[in-house]
Amino acid sequence: MLYGIAAATASFLLAALLAALLRAPALSLALVDRRRRRPVPLSGGVAVALVTGLVAGVGDWTGVVPLGPAAGRLLLGALAAGALGLAADLWRLRRRWVVAGTAVAAACVVPYGETGPVAGVLAVGWITLVAAAFRGLDHADGVAGTVGVVTAFGVAACAAAELRDGLAVALLALAAALTGLLLHNWHPARIALGACGALFTGFLLAGAAVFTRAGHPPAGGAAVLFALTAPACLDVVLVLLSRRLAGRPVLRAGPDHLAHRLRRLGLTPQGAAVVVGAVSCGAVLTGVLVHTGRVGAPAVWWVAGAAAAAVAGLLRVRVYGPRHGAGAQGRVPGPARPRPPRGACRVPPEVADTPGGASSRGTIFPVRQARRAEEDQVSAPLRVRNG
């Protein structure tokens, strides 16, 4: 207990300090998020991954709170996913390679002996999906960090109920590190989580949830896993449905995530992060109560129903432009130009700028006056030469 408090305190301070120190190198390396209105360094995830791995490793090395072989492999797999995310931030790797690498790392850490082969394969897909979902949450200031903190506390409570103290301490260190990052990631953000931190956070949280539910009935395990990661799942379903209904490519980015729609409803950036955090808190609390046996598994149906209602309501929020309004370059057609009156023509710019023409381009002149301006322009050099 005392080491858990000390680990959380150290993680909070170290993550806040290291994130501030890594901001300048990230700017010099152009490791920034260009999707936002101003470039934001993507070095926050590096700080979170390093601090979490360091604190958990020190506890295992000293023997105070040993991780164990399975939890140690999970932490190494999460660090590998974070390294893959860092490569994606630096060199803009294609998403299919990032997803494939995350799936390989998940396949190496799933406890097949406790879950069985079929459930183990499903767990690999689940870990990959949650890691990708957390990467999608990192589109607005403070959203991914807030959801990660709440989920980490909930999964840590589930791990402590299963007497997995080493895993619980690692999750507490993750929650504290994300809290330290939020000092810089809250709106207006000075540092972002990036693919490195998002993949590391999502991988570790999903993998820890799978470890805590291993050996339990599959139906109850799936319900608890969904409740613990409901906001991330809600964001994925919302984005996929909206893009399919709008006829857009699924992998084409756009302002259609959960926080974007909340902003369209009039919330501030801070308000959107708070609302998403409150939703995550309710879902995670339900998952913890079901895991510990305080309430039955049917309570998760309330979470699923609320998520379905939220998806149905948020799909009605318009986030894309009109189908035929703006072109590919974002141009919106202006009002139609009035037709010239009968018996008039539009003087060319080279004629309108001459002394005998008009004072501005495109002025409408009668036909006779336009022809006279052209004749003056052609005969002026001849008169100068002859005179």
CB atoms within 10 A of CB 188: 12
Give yes or no for a contact between 287 and 300, defined as CB atoms under 8 angstroms apart.
Answer: yes
When pLDDT is averaged across residues 133-144 and rounded to a whole number, the result is: 92
What is the model's pLDDT at position 250? 87
149 has pLDDT over 60 = yes
- For the chain, the average pLDDT equals 85
What is the model's pLDDT at position 320? 87
265 has pLDDT over 90 = yes
Gap between the Cα atoms of 43 and 196, Å rounded? 8
When pLDDT is averaged across residues 64-85 and rounded to a whole number, the result is: 94
CA dihedral 276, 295, 215, 217 (to 10 degrees): -100
When pLDDT is averaged across residues 240-250 and rounded to a whole number, the result is: 91
Gap between the Cα atoms of 114 and 112, Å rounded? 5
What is the model's pLDDT at position 382? 47
At 301, list the tokens.
């149906």
363 has pLDDT over 50 = no
Give yes or no for a contact between 211 and 119, defined as CB atoms under 8 angstroms apart.
Answer: no
Least confident of 82-86, 182-186, 249-253: 249-253
What is the model's pLDDT at position 374? 55
When pLDDT is averaged across residues 93-99 and rounded to a whole number, the result is: 91
Confidence of residue 39 (pLDDT cuts 50, 70, 90): confident
When pLDDT is averaged across residues 212-218 and rounded to a whole number, the result is: 86
Confidence of residue 355 (pLDDT cuts 50, 70, 90): very low
342 has pLDDT over 70 = no
294 has pLDDT over 60 = yes
Residue of 170 and 4 predicted with greater confidence: 170
Least confident of 20-24, 88-92, 198-202, 265-269: 88-92
302 has pLDDT over 50 = yes
Share of the chain above pLDDT 70, in %: 83
What is the model's pLDDT at position 376? 58
368 has pLDDT over 60 = no
When pLDDT is averaged across residues 98-112 and rounded to a whole number, the result is: 95
| Closest of 273, 167, 158 to residue 227, by C-alpha | 158
Confidence of residue 144 (pLDDT cuts 50, 70, 90): very high
When pLDDT is averaged across residues 185-207 and rounded to a whole number, the result is: 95
What is the model's pLDDT at position 321? 73
Name residue 361's amino acid. R
Least confident of 83-87, 182-186, 372-376: 372-376
What is the model's pLDDT at position 161? 93
When pLDDT is averaged across residues 283-305 and rounded to a whole number, the result is: 94
Confidence of residue 227 (pLDDT cuts 50, 70, 90): very high
3 state SS for 94-156? CHHHHHHHHHHHHHCCCCHHHHCHHHHHHHHHHHHHHHHHHHHHCCCCCHHHHHHHHHHHHHH
CB atoms within 10 A of CB 308: 12
Confidence of residue 216 (pLDDT cuts 50, 70, 90): confident
Confidence of residue 322 (pLDDT cuts 50, 70, 90): low
Question: Burial level of 292, CB count in 10 A (0-12/13-18/19+)?
Answer: middle
Gap between the Cα atoms of 227 and 212, Å rounded? 14
